[in-house]
Amino acid sequence: MSRQPSRALAISCALVTVILLFSACSDSTPTLVSTDTPEPTTTFVPAVTIFAPTSTPTPVPPTATVVPTPAATATSAVPTALPENVNPFTGLVVSDTALLNRRPLLIKVANTSEVRPQHGLAQADVVVEHYAEGGITRFSALFLTNSPEQVGSVRSCRLIDIELPVIFGSALTCSGTSPGVKPILRSSEYLFDKDSSDPRDGVAIISDFGPYECMSEYGCDLPMFRTADRSMPHNLFANTLNVWKELDERGRNKRSEFHTWTFDGAEVRAGKVVTSVDLPYTSGTVTWDYDVAMGSWARSIRGFPHTDAVTGKPLTASNVLVVYAPHVNTSIQEDTTGSLSIQIQLWGQGPLKVYRDGRVIDGTWQRDFELYSFALSDANGKSIALKPGNTWIQLVPMDFDVKD
């Protein structure tokens, strides 16, 4: 497929009702029941059937009522400034500081039985897991200092992928979008350069069986390639080095301004002691078990270790963040079974659980008018310090029953 529709055809989300009948980019599973539709609170304007996501990096005042917030309201926690040689997503010192000057990459990764174990997740600085549609989950994996040459399998973007690049100041790589999501994604001024006549001039690298993928991994110098060891669409992978090369060619490979997390290597003593966390996603319960010897959380799914494709070892995290946010079914149909695309309203603020050092700290996440911002605050409005290392973010509905 070509790169169409171009950005010139981007449609204002506030004027369009999206009702589509088919998308080849989705997995088919039972429909997810979302929470009641709340009102947007910050840069989002109500559309006919969905709320318009971020389409510009310039924040504007709120225009609607406020969504419910936890009892302890965040009060603009101020993070501790990090040294120039520290990765802002992991809190780890980087010997080659030039790596911190390149743009982080968000790569869309599938999470179904056909693709597990996945490649590259163990090397990500941050992994965000979220509902896609029909009860399945999908990952957005963020890379900055590590450069895996095989990440995936890569699948299509969802509405949440309009917000995450703005939060992290990252580029975005995925296999495509559903027809209903595409015009909304194209309307993002962060992802696509509205002042350019070339639709490539932005930080979104989307294949759609187009110019950004090779049909073989051998000698491929494009951002994505296909392997012969599995069937389509599960055989598409990303090479981070080639994605950064593409961003270089576009003049878009620039340092992220994300700066809102605080890190502290000292073991925390606050919060309830927790040895295991269960997240009952519809497609299978995810469990994080704390390993005292390693000082990290080991991931399982459906009672089995969730492992890395290369090492065979379980995926681990220094921090696990459970982020509660409104999940709203839109009118965009993602597959032939009628599964609806979900808008995860990751703006304003909401409840938060931070798991580190075998404990849980309850708090509030806050995304305000400042770009590249996702603050983590405790009940007193103080910034919650993460443990240096990688972080997994579990996005869940407001009424999600987390067991710890």
Separation CA 155–CA 64 (nearest Å)? 34
Annotate 181-240 with three-state secondary structure: CHHHHHCCCCCECCCCCCCCCECEEECCCCCCEECCCCCCCCCEEECCCCCCCCCEEECH
Question: Distances in Å between the alpha carbon of 286 and those of 47, 111, 136?
Answer: 34, 12, 12
Positive or negative: CA dihedral 93, 99, 104, 107: negative
Nearest to 25 by CA among 233, 330, 238, 236: 233
Cα 186 from Cα 385, distance rounded (Å): 35
State if pTM tops 0.85. Answer: no
Q: For residue 246, give the 3-state DSSP assignment.
A: helix
Closest CA to 94 of 125, 129, 135: 125
CA distance 392 to 394: 6
What CATH number should be reported for the domain whose range is 262-396?
3.50.90.10
**282 contacts 269 by C-beta, under 8 angstroms:** no
Task: Tell me, rounded to whole angstroms, the distance of Cα 381 from its chain centroid.
Answer: 25
Rounded to 5°, angle at Cα 170 from 263 and 301: 70
Helix (H) / strand (E) element for 165: namely helix 160-168
Amino acid of residue 290: Y
Strands 296-301 and 304-305: antiparallel
The pLDDT tens digits along the chain (404 residues) read: 333 333 332 333 332 333 232 333 333 333 333 333 333 333 333 232 445 545 433 332 222 222 333 333 444 566 777 899 999 999 999 999 999 999 999 999 999 989 999 999 999 999 999 999 889 999 999 999 999 999 999 999 999 999 999 999 999 999 999 889 999 998 999 999 878 777 678 999 998 767 899 999 889 999 999 999 898 999 999 999 999 999 999 999 999 999 899 999 999 988 999 999 999 999 999 999 999 999 999 999 999 999 999 999 999 999 999 999 999 999 898 877 888 899 999 999 999 999 999 999 999 999 987 889 999 999 999 999 999 999 999 999 999 999 99
CA–CA gap between residue 111 and residue 6 (Å, rounded): 30
Kindly report the number of other CB atoms within 10 A of residue 137's CB atom: 20
Q: Which two tokens stand for residue 9?
A: 């055809």
Structure tokens given for 122: 């163990």
Separation of alpha carbons 177 and 197, rounded Å: 22
Closest-CA residue to 254 (of 67, 101, 382)? 101
CA–CA separation, 397 and 346 (whole Å): 11
Q: Give, as one character, the DSSP assignment of residue 283.
A: T
In the chain, domain spans: 262-396
3-class state of residue 250 by DSSP? helix
